[in-house]
Amino acid sequence: MSSILSLYPRYSWSGDRARFRLAVATWIVERTQDRRFPFRITIEQEGRTLLAVRAQSHWPGAGSQIFCLRETELDPAEHLEPFERVRVAHLARLGRKLSVTLDRAQRKRCEFLKIEKPFKDRPGTYEQIFFRTEQGLRAHRTSGKVELLPRGGLEVVIDSAELYPWHFPGARTTRRKLPVGDYALVEDERLVAVVERKTRENFLGNVHEIKGLHQQLAELGSYPHAAMVVEAQYADFGNPAKIGRWPASHLLRVIGEIAALHPAVPLVFAGNRKLGNVWAQRFFAGVAAAQRQSLPAFVREPVAGYDAEPADGGTDTRVRLAALRELPDAFEFALLRRQFAEVSELRLRRILNQLRAEGRLRCEGRGRAARWVRVGAQEPLPARKSE
């Protein structure tokens, strides 16, 4: 049990369920008295303000973006009217942008972009911050633009044991013994990305010694960026003509096990040697571009201060678990409402109705006296009246 808690320090353990110990990050919208910027948007976690901007709207409309001002200081005397509070499901850097996902069913993804523009009448620059939603991004004319633009050459180390190595045109390549993997991207003598290369024959041979492969992939996953590239199609390992004596069902089970045990190491089925080489070069170029990308403090500081909690499926999942495991076998809606006071009644009833449609709950009675009963749960006997 202690090993599980060490992986998830934000949880305490009670019975067979994990419960939150610390406050989660919250998206807070407040109305201001400013006509030009009538909304204040903040992201707070455990008493710390990760982000604070003044916005022209609380949420961008379809295909639009909202101009914001970064808040430098809050006047304690300013009157702010509460407008919205939503749990933050995830906060991360996406290139030079701050990406935010809210824990709700609709209108949940957005981002903040900060750009520097030169003054027209004097030296220097000023910042502009734009608040955009997922729908607005999809409609934007630059939606096909990539986030990372390669700049400068690559320095690639090829393991000395590689007999017929891949080629990296335009990169500076050297050969030496790598601690793990066959190819590595190097910056300032540090290995920042590592690729393990496998032909179909290599992979089939490793199945004989699968425990050793697991150890190798575990070490590979300790690097910031890593991948295993297989010069074959996934379908090849289900084709008896290409896998020799191995049963296809066993090989596909091994591949699934590798992906499950080593989530930090993507398993890439490139198809052939040429495409595997191309994938690795593009991968290294992307990592190098990310390493060299200048990150504004507006994005860097919130991400650095954000204490990410393990993804658990969000509020809907927590409500489902409460209804199916935590509450009594037969409970009234008011009991669920008290446990999730921050969740709207409409959302709670939607989840209960979904569980009823799945055959997990049934509803008995009507109105306030109605009870939700777990299907298969044994009904308690009614209390005997005293004589």
pLDDT at 116: 86
- Contact partners, residue 112, CB within 8 Å, separation at least 6: 51, 53, 68, 97, 98, 100, 129, 130, 131, 132, 298, 299
* Helices 200-207, 210-220: inter-axial angle, 10-degree rounding: 120
CA 153 to chain centre: 30
- Contact partners, residue 207, CB within 8 Å, separation at least 6: 213, 246, 250, 251, 254
| Cβ 306 vs Cβ 10: under 8 Å | no
Q: What 3-state DSSP class applies to 58?
A: coil
pLDDT at 215: 96
CA dist., res. 237 & res. 253, Å (int): 10
pLDDT at 311: 78
Strand partners, 172: 155
| Tens-binned pLDDT, residue by residue, of the chain (387 aa) | 333 333 334 433 333 333 434 468 999 999 999 999 999 999 999 889 999 999 999 998 877 889 999 998 888 889 999 999 999 999 998 888 899 999 988 889 999 999 888 888 888 888 899 999 887 766 665 555 565 666 668 999 999 999 999 999 999 999 999 999 999 999 988 999 999 999 999 999 999 889 999 999 999 999 999 999 999 999 999 999 999 889 999 999 999 999 999 999 999 999 999 999 999 999 999 999 888 877 788 888 898 899 887 777 889 999 999 999 999 999 999 999 999 998 989 999 999 999 999 999 999 988 888 999 999 865 544 444 443
pLDDT at 378: 54
**CATH fold for the domain made of 314-374:** Arc Repressor Mutant, subunit A (1.10.10)
| Cβ 285 vs Cβ 302: under 8 Å | no
CA dist., res. 133 & res. 362, Å (int): 38
The CATH number of domain 155-292, selected from 3.40.50.10130, 3.40.50.12280, 3.40.50.1820, 3.40.50.10320: 3.40.50.10130
Q: Would you state the structure tokens that stand for residue 333, as one six-digit string?
A: 């809606």
pLDDT at 387: 39
**290 to 137, 148, 223, 284, 301: CA distances (angstroms):** 21, 6, 15, 10, 17
Residue 216 is which amino acid?
Q
Q: What 3-state DSSP class applies to 247?
A: coil
What is the residue extent of each domain of the chain?
Answer: 2-147, 155-292, 314-374
pLDDT at 150: 62
| Cβ 193 vs Cβ 224: under 8 Å | yes
CA 140 to chain centre: 23
Q: What 3-state DSSP class applies to 3?
A: helix
Which residue's entry shows tokens 């041979």?
Answer: 205
Q: What 3-state DSSP class applies to 119?
A: coil
